[in-house]
Amino acid sequence: MSNEKFLTRRHILWLSLATLTGINACTKDRLWETTTKNKMLNSLARNSKIVGKLSLKERAAAKGLIYGAACESYELSENKEFATYFAQECAILVPENELKWAALRPTPDKFDFDKSDQLLKYAQTHKMLFRGHTFVWHGSFPKWFQEKVNSKNAEKFLTEHIATVASHYAGRIHSWDVVNEAIETKHGRTDGLRNTPWLKFLGSQYIELAFRVAAEADPKALLVYNDYNLEYDYSDSNAKKLAVLKLLERLKSKGTPVHALGIQSHLIASQPHFNTKKLRIFLSDVASLGLKILITELDVRDYKLPADITQRDRMVAAACEEYLSVVLDEKAVIAVLSWGLSDRYTWLKNFAPRPDKLPVRPLPLDSNFQRKLTWNAIARAFDNAPKR
């Protein structure tokens, strides 16, 4: 069967599953409480034993995978202990914010690589890979952007930014999130694209343009399309999976140099809407386009869980291991990065605080850099993953 026919058949399946999911959603939500309670109880009983003393990066490497995390430069400079733990666990580092427009571009005609270069230096010192995040995103424009950029000069700003930054790091970057979060099906476009300034100024071709400029500036880097809300079985998440798949197909059909999909993987513990079958089909469809897959921003929201830390950590760990055991079965998945390594430094502190104001616990290390059950969960997922 030709690739087109195969994918069309898949799309019909996706669309019908998405419709059915929509109809079922209300039924499912009525069962939400029961399912969630069952999941919580199951996760409490779950075995989280690990074998041996290897670090996360060593367990990943044993299966041909890469494990690492995001961090900010101040976290490593202000806390030498954390810098040691980070090097012990991580084989790749992604700057959480230092390679975004807001950090790199103090003025329209200036680039400031100081903080991102500090992180590259740390990564090189500890023989870590370095990944870039992100050239094109609606989420981190510098203050001057809205006033200075328009439909006449947007292409120049976009191409100059990517060419300058990609060239600055050429040959020293494992992968770039070239375009981040370009899909938002709720915006109502048939192509599912998010209404961002780039789309407004340049039309939908801005995505292909970004990848082509990045490939020319750094032919060695793996070029990634990165997005979120692809993990669960919600009608909007399933619609987004389909829209992302069709975007990737369109890009590939034009010969665009896109090499991988980044699935952010911001998980929610005790989430009943986790459908292993639909996730496996999605991962396999992405891989069938000849693309690699990276888990780029893994963390687990615990805001709806009980206050008790033992219970909470078990549920967070269970969600993490359940998800990773599915995604790591797909051999196109080459890397797992968590969005932070320690609970001391997580964006969720401000973005998704707990109603009881207790500190959130979404990451492998606690706020004193001690390994948690979530560390065990990731370790077990690597230990049980098929070798690449």
Catalytic (active-site) positions = 181, 297
Rule CB under 6 A: which of 145-204 touch ligand G3I?
Answer: 180
Asked if 68 and 61 count as a contact pair (C-beta separation under 8 A), the reply is: no
Looking at beta carbons, which residue is closest to ligand G3I?
347
Choosing from 39, 59, 100, 354, the residue that interacts with ligand G3I (CB under 6 A) is: 100
Closer Cβ to ligand G3I, 39 or 266, answer by number: 266
Q: Is 97 in the site for ligand G3I (CB under 6 A)?
A: yes
Stretch that binds ligand G3I, among 4-12, 94-102, 186-194, 232-240 (CB under 6 A): 94-102
Closer Cβ to ligand G3I, 262 or 272, answer by number: 262
Q: How far is the CB of 276 from ligand G3I (least distance, A)?
A: 24
Closer Cβ to ligand G3I, 75 or 233, answer by number: 75
Q: Is 139 in the site for ligand G3I (CB under 6 A)?
A: yes
Q: How far is the CB of 180 from ligand G3I (least distance, A)?
A: 6
Size of the residue set binding ligand G3I (CB under 6 A): 10
Contact letters for ligand G3I, residues 302-341 (x by CB under 6 A)? ----------------------------------------
Q: How far is the CB of 295 from ligand G3I (least distance, A)?
A: 13
Closer Cβ to ligand G3I, 98 or 322, answer by number: 98
Closer Cβ to ligand G3I, 46 or 138, answer by number: 138
Q: Is 225 in the site for ligand G3I (CB under 6 A)?
A: no
Rule CB under 6 A: which of 249-268 touch ligand G3I?
Answer: 264
Q: How far is the CB of 141 from ligand G3I (least distance, A)?
A: 10
**Residues engaged in binding ligand G3I (CB under 6 A):** 96-97, 100, 139-140, 180, 228, 264, 297, 347
